């Protein structure tokens, strides 16, 4: 009788251990799948947001280069169309930012807020809402790309990617821009 009770106890103990091991492994797998699923959505949101920021900056550059610096070209679009394209790019960027707000970690969201503010300053200058020299424009333009790099670093950290976009081991790089306007010689 005692040996049968020991056998039953061992079977119950084995079944309980198997149940808890399976439960813990399934729970761990589900948590991993959930984290992986959200990481994919985060990556898509971050990539889309940076793409939309760059599109709005490009639209601002076209407006600034064509009209703020009075360098009209025959193939240039009318200023009203350039302003409309810029407004649309800003609207689309704002929608992409909302996805970052929904999915991003705290550091990513704060960095995205900073990037939005920096990009908006450049856009205001392109629209002529903020006065300044060409050097001020270049400073704002560089600041946007520094903010994009900071966003990349925050996003990489949030996604668990090692390394950084900015940092000590990289040489200083500058953005590629057209040269400043040259005064016409009479």
Domain span at 139: 39-159
Quick check: is 123 in a domain? yes
- The pair phi, psi for residue 65, each rounded to 5°, is -65, -40
- Whole-model pTM? 0.72
- pLDDT tens digits for the chain (186 residues)? 888 888 888 888 888 998 888 888 888 887 877 666 778 899 999 999 999 999 999 999 988 887 655 555 545 678 888 899 999 999 999 999 999 999 999 999 999 999 999 999 999 999 989 888 888 988 999 999 999 999 999 999 999 888 776 665 555 566 665 565 565 565
Quick check: is 32 in a domain? no
Rounded (10°) angle between helices 2-63 and 106-127: 10
Number of folded domains that form the chain: 1
């Amino acid at each position: 009788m005692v040996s049968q009770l020991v056998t039953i106890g061992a079977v119950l103990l084995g079944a309980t251990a198997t149940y808890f091991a399976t439960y813990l492994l399934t729970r761990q797998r589900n948590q991993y799948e959930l984290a992986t699923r959200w990481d994919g959505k985060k990556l898509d949101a971050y990539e889309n947001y940076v793409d939309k920021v760059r599109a709005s900056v490009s639209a601002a550059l076209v407006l600034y280069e064509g009209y703020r610096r009075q360098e009209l070209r025959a193939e240039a679009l009318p200023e009203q169309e350039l302003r409309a394209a810029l407004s649309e790019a800003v609207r689309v960027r704002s929608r992409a930012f909302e996805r970052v707000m929904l999915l991003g970690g705290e550091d990513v969201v704060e960095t995205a807020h900073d990037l939005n503010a920096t990009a908006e300053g450049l856009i205001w200058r392109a629209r002529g809402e903020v006065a300044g020299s060409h050097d001020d424009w270049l400073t704002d333009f560089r600041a946007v790309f520094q903010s994009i790099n900071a966003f990349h670093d925050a996003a990489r950290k949030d996604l668990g990617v090692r390394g950084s976009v900015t940092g000590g081991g990289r040489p200083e790089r500058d953005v590629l821009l057209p040269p400043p306007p040259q005064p016409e010689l009479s």
